Amino acid sequence: MQSIRTTCPYCGVGCGVLAAPDGRGGLGIAGDPDHPANKGRLCVKGSALGETIGHAGRLLAPRIHGREAGWDEALDLVARRFSETIAEHGPDSVGFYVSGQLLTEDYYVANKLMKGFIGSGNIDTNSRLCMASAVAGHRRAFGTDTVPGLYEDIELADTVVLVGSNLAWCHPVLYQRLAAAREARGTRVVVVDPRRTATCDIADLHLPLAPGSDSALFNLLLAEIGRKSEICADNLEGIEDAMAAARETLPSTTGLAHSQIRQFLDLWLHSDKVVTVWSQGVNQSDSGTDKVNAILNCHLASGRIGRPGMGPFSVTGQPNAMGGREVGGLANMLACHLEIENPAHREAVRAFWNAPRMAERPGLKAVDMFRAVEDGRIKALWIICTNPAATMPEADRVARAIAGCDFVVVSDIMARTDTVRLAHVALPATGWGEKDGTVTNSERRISRQRRTLAPAGRARDDWRILAEVGRRMGWPGAFGWTSPAEVFAEHAALSGIAGGLGSDFDISAHAGITQAEYDALEPFLWPQSAGRQGGRFFGDGRFHTPSGRGRMVAVTPRPPQPVGGDHPFRLNTGRVRDHWHSMTRTGLSPRLSRHLAEPFLELHPSDAARLGLAPASLAEVESPQGRAVLRVLVSDRVAPGHPFAPMHWTRETAPSGRVDALVPGTVDPVSGQPALKSAPVAIRPF
Ligand code: SF4
């Protein structure tokens, strides 16, 4: 059977996939050689997609209080309870918590319903846990949330610096591209990470810096750029303050030897083309936005931005974190990268949507949203395509908050997750392979996901479910689309208006897209409008700030919250190579579970010896927020005092192995992103 071109649903690399239905409900999977992101490559997760499409465990019909119900009954109930809550308590008494795995069309409809029609900013997303600090850092430096460069820059660079990124496991195909470039061109690779991860296998230099000291390292680099008089000042503002803060930074705060810092500075400054890639080790921090700006400062100051082989590069964890940003899926943004605090932007979106009740201020960010659920300010909550009872920091507290909420709707593909079991109404959603739409990868490339399989049971697409509720709440015209192509066309048309207001996000070339054109849509980079077709940003020295200049930010490095007393270890959390989030899909593949089959605690040999923990024994890990029991993996890949544990297991899959139950709800004050890599814990033999 003929292959259908689609896109992988996992990480932000956004690989093209050829899916070939076998006529018996199965799919043959191969990398798409014509997709620019992966050029035929796939990692182990992507290549196992065909093993994860069965209907075992799927939610196949709507459920109300656990009993099977019809779609009309369920949708009527959702619309009625949300309408009644809003009428009685106001628009801010409801919230949507959505996901970087939704397709852009789903996301657009959710955002339109909440911000334009319900009239609240209370829509936030698990992307808050992934890249909110990158968004905030971009906006401070560039005026907009713009990723300046392209994947090919990683292949064109002389030196690639990876900061807080285990690219080998978390963005494997991008890692393969970097490794191939290194082989072909001798690209120097620097890994900045307290852990010696698999990515270090190709590193020319590994800097195991003190946790949280990334800003200090990049401040030292900025000061050195200033000393060498390499500042390109023509188009920058804020230089003096940023340089003064940089010059005050003490090398000792990094925990690195002088020789290691010197080697890093020399490598960076002697390389004409440098790309700095960062990920969750930077973003998931209580000073994540400052860390991002410390990196951006160096690229701005040295002019290494927006040109081939040069630039700062945020790689997103999720497949459509970027698409979510584009539609305004974060509580503090509007659609098409417009600003919710800007009256002209609000009015433009209101007029375009003919919206009756436009949100006038940012809504609650993820951690605050669940605090509002806990204390009853939010009385009706709709959770879509995500599992916060397992994956939010302070997960047990979040689960209790959801359990105590007056009315909880959960849209999901699976019947049993930690969050679905708390739902008053559970709505079956179509999953990867069953739905049509678009996603945007980390280099701003929009690709189609295409339907290759029939929906499981009575599952429906998320955009359609949301639109059905919008119609039932009284807005049939505004939510009257009949296909995702029509939603995409509306989003593209709105982006043209946004482009006229100075937004970087403009795909108005697709405003009139037909169904046939949508079906045939090739992967493309935004912007795509009458005036601009893809490419890099800022190489011409023009930024999106009011002055048109790039903005350097004075960063005073702040150490993470101290550990000590009863909780002397700093627990770092993250992914393993072969699993995704809470494993609802990858857990279906025995092959993917072979790599690392159970929750574990990676502990330095000196810590293990001191605690009397032998390899493969069980350790009890306890924090003020919760408790877990984990298998001990003794390894010098982690530093003494800084163990690591993966985040994938849930109450459904390993009740005592839930790591996010240990993590506090501490957030970055600018972005609201939780500090998921820094949980103070105690460890003892179990
Ligand atoms: Fe999917 Fe990411 Fe692997 Fe590509 S690198 S196949 S997008 S998980």
Residue closest via CA to ligand 1's atom 3 equals: 43
> Do 296 and 152 share a structural domain?
yes
> Do 621 and 497 share a structural domain?
no
Are 450 and 5 in contact by the 8 Å Cβ rule? The answer is: yes
Model pLDDT, residue 231? 85
- Per-residue pLDDT tens over the stretch 267-311: 999 999 999 999 999 999 999 999 999 999 999 999 999 999 999
**Any bridge partners for residue 621, and if so which?**
628, 683
> Do 25 and 101 share a structural domain?
no
Among 644, 467, 654, 481, residue whose Cα is nearest residue 573: 644
Write the CATH number for 374: 3.40.50.740
**Three-state secondary structure along 621-680?**
EECCCCEEEEEEEECCCCCCCCCEEECCCCCCCCCCCCHHHCCCCCECCCCCCECCCCEE
CA angle at 130 for the pair 125 and 136, rounded to the nearest 5°: 85
Domain with 36, as residue range(s), is 4-52
> Do 484 and 361 share a structural domain?
yes
Which ligand 1 atom lies nearest to the CA of residue 172?
5
Q: Is residue 639 lining ligand 1, measured as CB closer than 6 Å? A: no
Provide the ipTM: 1.00
- The rounded distance, in Å, linking the Cα atoms of 74 and 31 is 39
Q: Is residue 439 lining ligand 1, measured as CB closer than 6 Å? A: no
Q: Is residue 43 lining ligand 1, measured as CB closer than 6 Å? A: yes
Are 81 and 462 in contact by the 8 Å Cβ rule? The answer is: no
In a domain, 551, yes or no: no
Distance 38 CA to ligand 1 centre (A): 8
Model pLDDT, residue 1? 67
Q: Is residue 12 lining ligand 1, measured as CB closer than 6 Å? A: no
Write the CATH number for 632: 2.40.40.20
In a domain, 575, yes or no: yes
Number of H helices, E strands in the chain: 22, 26
Whether residue 394 is predicted with pLDDT greater than 70 in this model: the reply is yes
DSSP 578-606: S--TT-TTGGG-HHHHTTS-S-EEEE-HH
Among 131, 70, 123, residue whose Cα is nearest residue 458: 70
**Ligand 1 site-directed mutation target among 8, 154, 165, 440, most atoms within 8 Å of CB:** 8
> Do 365 and 269 share a structural domain?
no
> Do 403 and 265 share a structural domain?
no
Distance 39 CA to ligand 1 centre (A): 12
> Do 599 and 512 share a structural domain?
no
Compute the residue count for the chain: 686
In a domain, 549, yes or no: no
In a domain, 677, yes or no: no
**Percent helix, strand and coil across the chain, each rounded to 5?**
35, 20, 45
- Per-residue pLDDT tens over the stretch 434-458: 999 999 999 999 999 999 999 999 9
Angle in degrees, 0-180, between the axes of helices 214-227 and 258-269, rounded to the nearest 10: 60
Distances (CA, A) of 473 to 360, 467, 486: 20, 10, 21
Distance 37 CA to ligand 1 centre (A): 10
Which ligand 1 atom lies nearest to the CA of residue 13?
7
Percentage with pLDDT > 90 across the chain:
93
In a domain, 308, yes or no: yes
Which ligand 1 atom lies nearest to the CA of residue 14?
7
> Do 463 and 386 share a structural domain?
yes
- Per-residue pLDDT tens over the stretch 326-342: 999 999 999 999 999 99
Q: Is residue 191 lining ligand 1, measured as CB closer than 6 Å? A: no
Residue closest via CA to ligand 1's atom 2 equals: 11
Q: Is residue 42 lining ligand 1, measured as CB closer than 6 Å? A: yes
> Do 189 and 310 share a structural domain?
yes
CB atoms within 10 A of CB 267: 18
- DSSP-derived 3-state class of residue 133: helix
Average pLDDT, the chain: 96
Q: Is residue 69 lining ligand 1, measured as CB closer than 6 Å? A: no
Number of domains in the chain: 4
